[in-house]
Structure 1
Amino acid sequence: MGKLVAAGVLAAALTAAPAIGAVPQSAADASPVGIHNRSASALLSRMTLQQRVGQLFMVGGAATGVSSATRSALTTYHVGNVILTGRSTAGVTATRKVSDGLQRLSTHQTDAAANLLVSTDQEGGYVQVLQGPGFSRMPTALTQGTWSDSTLYRSARAWAWQLRSAGVNVNLAPVMDVVSSSFAPYNQPIGYYQREFGHTPSVVASKGGWFLLGMRSRGVGTTAKHFPTLGRVRYNTDTHSGVVDRTTYSSSTWLNPFKTAIADHSKFVMVSTAYYEHIDPNHPAAFSHTIVTDLLRDKLGFTGVIVSDDLGNAKQVQAWSPATRAIEFLDAGGDLVLTGNTTTLPSMVNAVVAKAESNSAFRARVNQSALRVLQAKQSLGLLRWYAPLTVNGRMDAATASALQVYLLSTRTGSWDSNTRECLQRVIGTGVDGVWGPNSQAALQSFLGISHDGSSSLNARTVAALQRYLNGQR
């Protein structure tokens, strides 16, 4: 796909809408008022070991609200990343409130921490966690794969805009698994749910690549999954143990879509927990140095973040203790431990901290992975910081800049039409860049203050916005 992009299609698509979620590089962006762009390496140097370890975990949190267990993961164990789980039909604005609440709970208020990666499974069809007002209903990947390249790109771009508006910065998609048409009905994890873009490596590589590029164009991190493939197994690793792929080799064409995703700069690759008889028959892929490091990192040249498939609830990994699962994955060369089960988190984190404290080689492994996660965050615009705002009720340059950081929109330091459009999308009102009574009422509802009938920004509302932004730093 990296060589398949048609310049004309991209040029037309890039002019489609204001760039919420983009990380622009304009001259105005270079030095907005009060904004500091942290570097990943500098931030890592200021982190404690516990904070570094926290960056290596992505914990489950209900898409409909923040549970006490997720709250504890963020505040007690310094976990730096969340996956929104379950199903929500509450819409963009309600989801943004959940995402913002998670960001407030994270340790990013301290000088040595970073904003959360907030992720979800937004593939389409049977696997679309976030729905409701403001979210398009996405068809299955198999249907998406029948669309023209330009249609798929534009659609993925729109879906990414919706995610960013909801405070979600990583999509655990696209699925790059290849399932033959004859085997699809028997392939429980992928084909049964039509999660594949097509039935040949070339189609999956091309269509999955356009989905990836559309997401990336809006500043949403993409996750190519499930390496090296789940398209050749019968059973689902989430619900079965002993799942084995008996046909895939390290040279199989089933790996080609992942090569495309890597060439197209997917920031994340997810590794499955199935066994691969012809690559490493002795370890599940997520625990295999041969698959994670020798194949994905070294042979395929992936330099981004390697994330595990679920290591919390998946039936495939229940034979290992939670602590062992985390250690095995990191020892294999993985970077980001995903667990949908918050009860597994304390033992996982404690085991990683303990080993890092006693083993210098493993400590170096932790530092290496923490840096990769922080570099991914930096590329997504998540290491930006602003000084606390003075609550003065004025939409001054500092407040406008802080609002633009929060919105991940172009930073100009002024209350311009693009900023108004981005904010309108977040608060769930008409998106036209004109601030009138409807926008004002929606913002007051979003901030949790009473409606006062004002038709434009007033000091009371701006003061509430300033307090809100101070809580999001």
Structure 2
Amino acid sequence: MRRRHLLALAPAAALAACSADGTGDGPDGPSASDGGSSDGGASSGAGTPTGEATTTPETTPPPTAAEMLLEDLTPREIAGQLVLVGIQAGSEIPPEVITEDHAGGIFLLQVWESAEEVDRTVADAAAMSRPDLPPLVAVDQEGGQVRMLRGDAARRTASAEELGAEGLEAVAAAYTSIGEDLAARGIQVALSPVADVVDPDLGNANEPVGTLDRGFGTDPEAVGDCVAAAVEALGEQGIGATLKHFPGLGRVEQNTDFSAEGIEDDITGPDDPFLGAFRAGIEAGAQLVMMSSAIYPRIEPEVPAMFSAAAVQDLLRGSLGFEGLVVTDDIGAAKAVQDVPVAERATRLLAAGGDAVLTADPSLIAQLVDAIEEWAAASPEQEQRVRESAGRMLALKEQLGLLEG
């Protein structure tokens, strides 16, 4: 039977409850029963008229490290937390993206075959950051063809397609290995597993998933079981899991990374059974969900999912109950968003209820952070929306052990 647990990451309460597998570090606030009765004063009836009911005062949990840190950040630091920058193997981190633009973290691009190089890059990112605001580090490590860490940086694991055929034990073993390798390199987030269910009528003609053997299968329930096993295995190693690409890329033919045309899935809707794999991952404790840049007319016509309030707020957060960090697929180099002005790639995500943008192009960081900062300053409502997302980012960092309580 599949174990289920949900790791809530809402900024105000995310870290008050620990996950079942111990990946959370949230402080335990005192319960209502803790207040007012230990010294016997309330129960003695002193000063209370006979027959009048006594009440136990409610207690307020102490603020989390994430909540306290949020209050100490400047508007630009808050805006910067909502941008993750891609760093290519063999390149250096541009210092200004962290020292001036306060990027919330980095993700590793291309193929890294040297553990020493990975370790140096992770250490450089931390050294550039404010000491009490360390960067989140993520990597696309799925197994099979999609493995950014290779060589002595990480062990080889099979593709999702192979793992799905072998069964849940194989999935758990592979993702345990992935989690161990990421933890050893100081990486906190896996940009996996893929929760897309490939349409059996497409198979390998499905370029983003099927062609690369990235999907666990074509049956939503079986895929959901595999996704949950992967999420739980990562969590047991202290690694945050990212479900992608919501609400699914299993029914499209073209790849949003390489096609500038508006890629549409005219089948997937709010009640689609293919969404069950995402629900399974959420119930298993996934901390992040990556949004697709494809268009889903049955959810919201003409609007890419990452910019769609119907997809993010109504479907993902509302119907599926996800409370964690919602991030974009790449909005820097991906062809699918090249017609969207750079600034709007960040602000439209926030307006839809999403939280953080990922860009493979470091040169866009300043524009993105400027846009978020200016958008927040435009109205109290937008400022609160940005602070909410920054709170989720900081809550995730605290949960993954980056912030000290």
TM-score normalised over the length of structure 1: 0.72
Determine if the alignment matches structure 1 residue 85 to structure 2 residue 109. yes
Equivalent pairs counted in the alignment come to 352
Q: Deviations over 1:346-391 (max 9, x none)?
A: 1111111112122111100000000011111111011028xxxxxx
1:165 to 1:317, Cα distance in 2 relative to 1, 3 A: same
Q: Aligned residue for 1:74? A: 98
- The unaligned stretches of length 5 or more in structure 2 are 6-20, 26-62
1:93, 1:147 → 2: CA distance? 33
Determine if the alignment matches structure 1 residue 58 to structure 2 residue 81. no
Aligned positions of 1:29-178 closer than 5 A: 39-68=65-94, 71-90=95-114, 92-107=115-130, 109=131, 113-178=132-197
| 2:152 alignment partner, SS class | coil
**Kept in 2: contact 1:275–1:283 (CA 8 A):** yes
| 1:309 alignment partner, SS class | strand
Instruction: State the Cα RMSD in Å.
Output: 1.9
| 1:155 alignment partner, SS class | helix
State the AA in 2 paired with 1:85. Answer: L
Q: Aligned residue for 2:367? A: 347
Determine if the alignment matches structure 1 residue 186 to structure 2 residue 205. yes
| 2:224 alignment partner, SS class | helix
- The unaligned stretches of length 5 or more in structure 1 are 6-20, 26-36, 386-473
Q: Percent sequence identity over matched residues?
A: 34
* Pick aligned residue for 1:297 from 310, 313, 317: 317
| 1:41 alignment partner, SS class | helix
1:4, 1:266 → 2: CA distance? 11
1:174, 1:312 → 2: CA distance? 22
2:118, 2:22 → 1: CA distance? 19
2:396, 2:93 → 1: CA distance? 26
Residue 42 of structure 1: CA displacement? 0.7
* Pick aligned residue for 2:355 from 326, 335, 338: 335
1:67 to 1:39, Cα distance in 2 relative to 1, 3 A: closer
2:123, 2:217 → 1: CA distance? 36
| 2:165 alignment partner, SS class | coil
1:383, 1:3 → 2: CA distance? 28
1:116, 1:256 → 2: CA distance? 32
Q: Which has the higher helix share?
A: 1
Q: Aligned residue for 1:233? A: 252
Aligned positions of 1:198-277 closer than 5 A: 198-240=217-259, 241-277=261-297
Residue 133 of structure 1: CA displacement? 1.4
**Kept in 2: contact 1:38–1:383 (CA 8 A):** no
1:56 to 1:4, Cα distance in 2 relative to 1, 3 A: closer
2:318, 2:293 → 1: CA distance? 20
Q: Deviations over 1:223-242 (max 9, x none)?
A: 00000000011111111121
Q: Aligned residue for 1:9? A: none
Q: Deviations over 1:419-455 (max 9, x none)?
A: xxxxxxxxxxxxxxxxxxxxxxxxxxxxxxxxxxxxx
State the AA in 2 paired with 1:266. Answer: A
Residue 219 of structure 1: CA displacement? 0.4
Determine if the alignment matches structure 1 residue 375 to structure 2 residue 389. no
State the AA in 1 paired with 2:84. Answer: M
**Kept in 2: contact 1:171–1:220 (CA 8 A):** yes
2:136, 2:237 → 1: CA distance? 15
2:230, 2:133 → 1: CA distance? 28
Determine if the alignment matches structure 1 residue 362 to structure 2 residue 385. no
1:232 to 1:76, Cα distance in 2 relative to 1, 3 A: same
Q: Deviations over 1:48-106 (max 9, x none)?
A: 111111111111112444243xx22111101111111111111x343122111111112
2:377, 2:85 → 1: CA distance? 23
2:117, 2:365 → 1: CA distance? 27
Q: Deviations over 1:83-140 (max 9, x none)?
A: 11111111x3431221111111122x2xxx4211100100011110001115111211
1:178, 1:129 → 2: CA distance? 23
2:2, 2:311 → 1: CA distance? 24
| 2:107 alignment partner, SS class | strand
Runs of 4+ that moved beyond 4 A: 1-5, 21-25
1:38, 1:172 → 2: CA distance? 26
* Pick aligned residue for 2:336 from 294, 301, 316: 316
State the AA in 2 paired with 1:331. Answer: A
| 1:211 alignment partner, SS class | helix
Residue 345 of structure 1: CA displacement? 1.6
1:257 to 1:332, Cα distance in 2 relative to 1, 3 A: same
| 2:301 alignment partner, SS class | strand
1:312 to 1:24, Cα distance in 2 relative to 1, 3 A: closer
**Kept in 1: contact 2:153–2:185 (CA 8 A):** no
2:90, 2:186 → 1: CA distance? 13
**Kept in 2: contact 1:59–1:81 (CA 8 A):** yes
State the AA in 1 paired with 2:79. Answer: V
1:250, 1:152 → 2: CA distance? 28
**Kept in 2: contact 1:75–1:105 (CA 8 A):** yes
Q: Deviations over 1:311-339 (max 9, x none)?
A: 11111111111001111111100001111
1:191, 1:151 → 2: CA distance? 20
**Kept in 2: contact 1:305–1:335 (CA 8 A):** yes
**Kept in 1: contact 2:66–2:395 (CA 8 A):** yes
1:53 to 1:123, Cα distance in 2 relative to 1, 3 A: same
Q: Aligned residue for 1:451? A: none
State the AA in 2 paired with 1:94. Answer: E
